[in-house]
Amino acid sequence: MNKNEAVQEIERLSLELSEHNHLYYVESRPLISDYDFDMLLNKLQDLEDEFPDLASENSPTKRVGGDITKKFESVEHKYAMLSLSNTYSKDEIEEWVARALKMVESDIEYVCELKYDGCAIGIQYVEGQLKQAITRGDGAKGENVTANVRTIRTVPLTLKNDFPKDVEIRGEIFFPLENFHRLNEKRREQGEPEFANPRNTASGTLKMQDSKVVAERGLDCFLYGVYGVDDQAEGHYELVQKASDWGFKIPPVSLRYIEKTSSIEGIMNFIHYWDEKRKELPFEIDGVVIKVNNYDQQEILGFTAKSPRWAIAYKFKAERVSTILEEVTYQVGRTGAVTPVANLKPVQLGGTTVKRASLHNADQIEKLGLYLGDRVYVEKGGEIIPKIVGVDLDDRIANSEEVKFIHACPECHAELIRHEGEVQHYCPNEIGCPPQMKGKVEHFIGRKAMDIDGLGAETVDALFEANLISNSADLYSLTFDQVVNLERMADKSANNLIDGIEASKKIPFERVLFGLGIRMVGETVAKKLAKYFKSLDALSVATLDELIAVDEIGDKIALSLQDFFLNEGSRQIIQKLKDAGVQLMIEEQEGGSNRWEGLSFVVSGVFDAFSRDELKATIEQNGGKNVSSISKKTSFVVAGDKMGPSKLEKATKLEVTILTEQDFIKMMNRDD
């Protein structure tokens, strides 16, 4: 390559890498894998080494991270938060070890740690009090997200024991998989698009303006680096263990999240172990970090312009395959959300045959720049969901058709809409769009809503095909003679179905409200609205200000409610439900009281005298609050048979009062 060609190639690579940097660090929306990014960066580095006079001071090879967003105060790091050099093979590990040994000229002890897939954070404590928490940013400056970090329960607000007067703790904030899946389940219930992966969601959550929302999402943090007090221990491993005494959650040695070794074999054993076991972790990792333990040796090794020489990251390769994009189709959900789906030539990936991959939304299609017939690269996002991460432009077919997002609903042909500030397109035809109509009925009959016995998705399809129903309220007009003639419907099944529909008329109002499938009104929101307004009639005429006055109800939920009640089709369904005798107001419960007001309960396990729903209803009837997870603020754990051992252990450790079913009955029957 001559110099003129090098100028053009360096410019092209620099622009491409800068764009990917921005997508990854600022927008939390990466389009290529870490491996591909590193390969591009290495290519640019090689060119700059060959033509040093062409290397710019603002080259991506000189940068550590991405740009600083303007939402939070920008703060300079006291200690530069550099990134690590990445490696992908044993040979590269051996080269790194050899260089370190040559510079140190003595034996080296190494520390192996998990590389958590989250957001790096530096937290400063002065006189034992949390002072500020700063994101990585560009490595020299980061964003002050102190208010949000304070909501993370595993981050101590006050240190204990012999803590240093001024110390900075570094770590990784991440989204536990259980909490991430729970958040996506809630978004499904509210008709909102699901988040793609825990890493991006943790990053976005950490930069939210409302710290209350951050607290509800349940982020976690492992703290694994101590800065400013390395005189308290000879090595990194020892000082991290000491930080545990100050109250920090550190990687547990017992689970092999961190360990020491003096050999390359020990390093590779750690890598191979976690490459196999990482799928069993309750959070995501994308590799392993190896560090020289001794601080004196770290000082000898020093730093390059962008990373320490005494540490390196081994990145696990995400399994990737290439295949052909044959077609893009579109799915319509019960809330009208339209999701594009890539239909692929079948290919093996991660032990399964992949035929389809979500394209999420119109913006993603535009970013990828897809054409039908393209050879695309597919990975499994978060080891679960297949996703297209790139296109082989060199293999593009001449005169192929560009993929453009549709303007009309693929099912009912209504013009799609896109709400301001949202990425999803919606079909507004709620009462005439078949997948929305069926989806709303399936939601209505679900276990957390009307829980209609004998009625499932297949029967709903059959009822629609027979033109017996067009919405949820039509279920209450069905007769035995109508349903018994359905395919695979015997007399007993037909009776069970009719009886189940009749029994659902006694389902409490808050579950009926949830079952209506109003966009953004999930199970929890429905309970709060039902408790506040007492009846559907009162809720239907509530003003925007009255709706927002309810705890946790914001503008978007309030506007969604008003849109629902203004819709003529919705009003007709509500009238049919009234005529059928469905519960559309809160009934005063006999034996109700406020005696457990201010107390929180966790119900777990299997019980003899009650179902879990009955226990929870009793708690709420007496003013108590049901919560899903155990914390120091939990008042009681009602423990049944087969309660999870981890919950029992946590309750015992936090000294939360544990009630058996008999204890709860005694407590319930007491006059006080």
Give all domains of the chain, ordered by start, each with its CATH number: 3-62 (1.10.287.610), 74-315 (3.30.470.30), 320-395 (2.40.50.140), 434-580 (1.10.150.20), 600-669 (3.40.50.10190)
Q: How many CA atoms lie within 13 Å of 251's alpha carbon, on the beta-carbon side?
A: 28
How are beta strands 625-626 and 600-604 bridged, if at all?
A: parallel
State how far the Cα of 498 lies from the Cα of 480, in Å rounded to an integer. Answer: 7
The predicted model gives 18-24 an average pLDDT of: 66
DSSP state of 511: H
What one-letter code names the amino acid at 403? V
Of 589, 545, 412, 517, give the one whose Cα is nearest residue 189.
517
Q: Which of 32-46, 222-236, 428-442 has the highest mean pLDDT?
A: 428-442
Largest CA distance in the chain: 91
User: Rounded distance, CA 575 to CA 72, Å?
Assistant: 49
Residue 482 has a pLDDT of 93
Query: Residue 82's pLDDT is what?
Result: 85
Q: Are strands 337-349 and 119-126 parallel, antiparallel or unpaired?
A: unpaired
Q: How confident is the model at residue 584 (pLDDT cuts 50, 70, 90)?
A: very high
Residue 133 host element (H or E) = strand 129-135
The residue that leads in pLDDT, 99 or 349, is: 99
Label residue 195 by pLDDT band (50, 70, 90). Answer: confident
Residue 428, C-beta contacts closer than 8 angstroms, at least 6 positions apart: 336, 414, 415, 416, 417
The confidence score (pLDDT) of residue 21 equals: 64
Q: Quick one: pLDDT at residue 362?
A: 94
The pLDDT value given to residue 64: 42
Percent of the chain with pLDDT over 90: 47
Residue 71 — pLDDT band, cuts 50, 70, 90? low
Predicted confidence band of residue 24 (pLDDT cuts 50, 70, 90): low
Asked whether 59 and 14 are in contact (CB, 8 A), the reply is yes
User: Residue 287's Cα: distance from chain center in Å?
Assistant: 20
Mean pLDDT of 414-419: 93
Query: Which among 652, 669, 670 has a CA at the least distance from the CA of 609?
Result: 669
* Non-local CB neighbours of 5 within 8 Å, separated by 6+ positions: none
Written as one letter, the residue type at 405 is F
| Triad 111, 112, 116: Cα angle to 5° | 130
CA-angle at 382, arms to 376 and 387, nearest 5°: 20
Task: Please give the average per-residue pLDDT across 39-45, as a whole number.
Answer: 81
Of the two residues 190 and 574, the one the predictor is more confident about is 574
pLDDT in tens, 217-270: 889 999 889 998 867 788 999 999 999 889 898 999 999 999 999 999 999 999
Q: What are phi and psi of 175, to 5 degrees?
A: -105, 110
pLDDT in tens, 480-536: 999 998 888 889 899 999 999 999 999 999 999 999 999 889 888 998 899 889 999
What's the confidence (pLDDT) of residue 383? 46
* pLDDT tens string 122-160: 999 999 889 999 999 888 888 899 888 988 888 888 888
Taking alpha carbons only, the member of 148, 169, 152, 135 closest to residue 28 is 135
DSSP collapsed to 3 states, 648-669 = HHHHHHCCCEEECHHHHHHHHH
Burial class of residue 28 in the structure, from the number of CB atoms within 10 Å of its CB (0-12 exposed, 13-18 middle, 19+ buried): buried
Within 10 angstroms of residue 641's Cβ, the number of other Cβ atoms is: 10
Check residues 627 and 148 and name the one with the higher pLDDT.
148
Over residues 266-313, the pLDDT tens digits come to 999 999 999 989 888 999 898 999 999 999 999 999 988 678 999 999
For residues 501-511, one letter each, b for 16 or more C-beta atoms within 10 angstroms of the residue's C-beta and e for the rest, the string is beebeebebbb
Is 115 among the residues known to form the active site? yes
Which pLDDT belongs to residue 350? 61
**pTM summary value:** 0.55
Q: In the beta sheet, which residues pair with residue 227? A: 168
DSSP helix/strand/coil, 73 = coil
pLDDT of residue 303: 87
Q: How many CA atoms lie within 13 A of 279 on its CB side?
A: 7
Average pLDDT over residues 340-352: 85
Catalytic residue among 70, 115, 141, 355: 115
Please count the other Cβ atoms lying within 10 Å of the Cβ belonging to residue 572: 13
Mean pLDDT calculated for residue range 167-189:
90
Q: Sorting pLDDT into bands at 50, 70 and 90, what band is 66?
A: very low
Tokens 């392993």 correspond to 288
How far apart (Å, rounded) are the C-alpha atoms in residues 522 and 537? Answer: 19
Instruction: Give Cβ neighbours of residue 671 (< 8 Å, ≥ 6 apart).
Output: none
- The answer to whether residue 538 scores a pLDDT higher than 90 is yes
Q: Is the dihedral of CA 88, 91, 92, 97 positive or negative?
A: positive
Query: Across all residues in the chain, what is the average pLDDT?
Result: 87
Q: What is the pLDDT of residue 589?
A: 53
